[in-house]
Structure formats: C-alpha cells, structure tokens
Amino acid sequence: MKDMDLVGLSATELSRLIASREVRPSEVMEATLARVAAVNGAVNAVVSMPDAELLMDQARAADEAPRAGWLHGVPMAVKDLIAVRGIRTTWGSPLFADHVPERDDLLAARMRAAGAIFIGKTNTPEWGHGSHSFNPVHGVTRNPYGLDRTAGGSSGGAAVALACRMVSVADGSDMMGSLRNPAGWNNVYGFRPSYGLVPGQAVGDTFLATMATEGPMARTVEDVARLLEVQAGVNPEVPFGRAGEPFGDRLSVEMKGRRIGWLGDWGGAWQVEAGILDLCEAGLRVFADMGAVVEPVAAPYPAEKLWFAWMTIRAMLNAGDKQAMYADPAKRARIKPESLWEIEQGAKVTAADFHAASVIRSKWYARVARLFADYDALVLPVAQVWPFPVEWRWPQAINGVAMDTYHRWMEVMIPVGLAGLPCLSLPVGFGAQGLPMGMQIFGPHGADARVLAMGQQYHLATDWPGRRPPVL
C-alpha cells in the first residue's frame, strides 16, 4: 500500500491487515515515520521520539513475532503525563526535562502488552494544568486546522497527532475536559470513561483523587471502543475498580425513541462564544433525524455550587500532590504560575470546606442519576470558546465577561468530571473561521457501552474526522 493509505487507516483496519499478514508492522512504521517527518514540524504534537532506526528494528521484530494483541505492530505515542520505559517523560516540567523512566506506568504497560510500538510522547501542558498544550520543555502544540490557534489540552498533542494521521489511535487523560476539549478542537473523538474503568497507579492518594481518569482517543468510535478494551480492567492495588467489557462488539443501538437532553449553556449560567451552541444543535439534529427525541433541559443544579465543589476539591488535591516540590524554593521557582496558584489555593482549604464540597458533589451525583431515569443521554458543548490564539496562556474573557481563573472558561466540563460519568466528545463540524468544535454526550456511571454505541451511530451518519486538516 502507499504510505498515505496506511497512515489514513483506522487502528481497527491496521490491526486486521497486520493480523492477516496483508501488511507488515515495518511497512506501517515506515509510513508513520514519513508522516511525522512531513507534518510534525508544523504542529509539534509528537515529542521525545527515539531513534528512527531503533523504531524500525522494533517494527521488523514485530513482523515475525506472534501476535501480541489488538495493537500488535501499531505505532502509538503516549501522552507525556504517563511514564514510558526508556522514553523521556517530562510531565511538561523543566524539573523532569531529562527524566527517562525505568518502567512503564500501568496504562503504558497495558498498551505495550497488547503489541503497541511507542514512537514517542504526545505534548501536554506542564503538569496537565490548562487546556492549552504548551510547556517550557517542548514548546507549544498548534492546531492543524489553524496553525495560529491552540490545539487545546491537556491531551492536545494526542488529538493533533490523530488529526494529522501521525497515529491511528491515542491515549489521553481527563480531569477538566482534557480528553474532551482537544478532541472537539481537532475534529476527532475523545472518551472519558466511567471513573474506575481505566485504573491509575497505586501511587499517592487513590481514595480521594477520583476526578481524573485516563482514556482513549481516535478518529473512529470503534477504535475508541477497542482501545478502551485494552486500557480497562481492575487494578487490585487501587479502589473503585470496574471490569472491562467487549465495547467494540457492542456498538449497535436503535436510536429511534432514545431520549437525549440538551443542557446548552446551563440556563445562561455560562458564557459561550457565538456559533458554538448553534453548531451543537445541528449535531443534535443528526440524532433527531435517526428518530431520537431531543429536548432542552433546564439547569438541573446551581452552577455556582458545582464550581465551588470543583475548585475546592481540585485545589486540595493539587496542593497535596505537589507540596514537596512547592516546599523547595529552587523547584518552586521552576513551576508555572497556574500550578503555583493551584497549590496555594489548595493550601487554604479547610476540613469544613472540603466536606462541604464533597457534599455538593454527592448531591449532584444523585441529581444527575435521577435525570437519567428520564434520558438515555445528556449533551453539553465541548468548550465555551473557539480555539484561541496560540500566543495566549488562556482566554481572559468570554463575550466581554472576565474569567476569574485560568480555567473558568472550561466550566462546561465540570458536571461530568465531578460525577465521574462516561462521556464521548463528538465532532460537530466547523465554524466561520474553519475551526472545529464538538459536543459531549454522557450517560450514567457504568453506561460506557451505551454512550459509545450512540456515538457510533452519530459517526456513521457524519464521519466528521474524514475532513482532513489544511496542514495535510
């Protein structure tokens, strides 16, 4: 096959072709390295790449090796918040600019065991803080649909690598939309699983830190589902685990009569730039055309209470996780301002504050569970702003209304994150400037297969990721 054919295929197609020996992993790697050489310089999505000949050696070994799993011989780049054995892993921080792990984190180990060949890392903001992928180690990742615009974050490098056909499938992580925002801004799919389905490391606190999770990204929903099968499954060393399912074989669903609730701008509580809600409503009409019942839903819980809970718990977790670095003046001087602010806010949280925030979180979980008695899924925009200029650190205002924190403009993400719900970012097309946007469709905890199946019907009807970026 021609190089363009190989890099344009889905991971599912590549996996089938490699398994049937119609294509060799070395052919896929050669095509992948050629694509990275051609486009990565413009977007800076894939970083810390090993020597090309070393990667070709690994691919040639996979040519002859027994099939390891679904990812056998498939090139992948792992988000730079995940440790990968033998490949520089920095967390975007100058404190770890030369760090090369001796062992894989659990997520990387699972993907490697399934046969993936790691070609490097995908770029991310320092410590994953902020939905704009820039850091002092690797620089900024640019949006391939507008090189003067942000790619989002924190899984910005992963989303761009997918959009540019440098990889066919990718991992990401999500606390405040880091799988969902960059997927929407790069015209691909990103899935935040139910909390516990994709377990983390048995490191630090694993009982209170339940708002962030890792998950899959891809250009097709089937690839998302099949990578989720690789990533999912209980880690007995951490609590709240959930068993995986054959998600890729459960993508059929009848949409006629399904009920979908549209939450929009949360009853006017959030500022949203012009055109975003209209594009999402056009996406919702795709579901309506398939026979689903789509209707607006009034704001189901006070936005200001959700924000208080989110800010309190997030800050406390960041302060606890990074207090040792902060206590060292030399290290503190090399931490970015937004991360310092998080740590300092968290240090002020009292036991009473944290308890009040946790009660709000608990009440919201109960309230949204009752909503799902009436709806099969709920929908929100994937962002409140269009991809902004790459030189900005973050949007200072929306519609003339000042944003009081570096992440307030991503408030639309917190209802899902607070409750730990399964959520798929769906592309909804392009705005007046040719920039992509998305909407997030989510269901009750544990309904991952249902959300993915609904997303699959949408993908079959639209295939927005088939519209390649101008950089290609």
Q: Active-site residue numbers?
A: 79, 154, 178
> How does DSSP classify residue 27?
H
Q: Nearest to residue 227, comparing CAs of 397, 2, 14, 469?
A: 14
Is the separation of the CB atoms in 194 and 174 below 8 Å? no
Distance CA 26, CA 61 (A): 8
- Residue 427 pairs in a beta bridge with 438
Mention every residue, 6+ apart, whose C-beta is less than 8 A from residue 362: none
Chain center to CA of 145? 18
- Residue 268 pairs in a beta bridge with none
- Residue 398 pairs in a beta bridge with 401
Token pair listed for 76: 């992948």
Look at the chain and count its residues. 472
Helices (H), 296-389: 303-327, 329-332, 337-347, 351-371
Using N-to-C axis directions, what is the helix angle for 221-231 and 11-19, rounded to 10°?
70
- Residue 79 pairs in a beta bridge with 122
Handedness of CA 146, 152, 154, 160 (dihedral sign): negative
> How does DSSP classify residue 247?
G
Token pair listed for 193: 């699983």
Summarize the chain as % helix, strand, coil (round to 5). Answer: 40, 15, 45
Burial of 402 (0-12, 13-18, 19+ CB in 10 A): exposed
Token pair listed for 393: 């650190």
Distance CA 93, CA 278 (A): 38
Q: What's 86-149 look like in SS3? A: CECCCCCCHHHCCCCCCCCCHHHHHHHHCCCEEEEEECCCHHHCCCCCEECCCEECEECCEEEE
> How does DSSP classify residue 389?
B
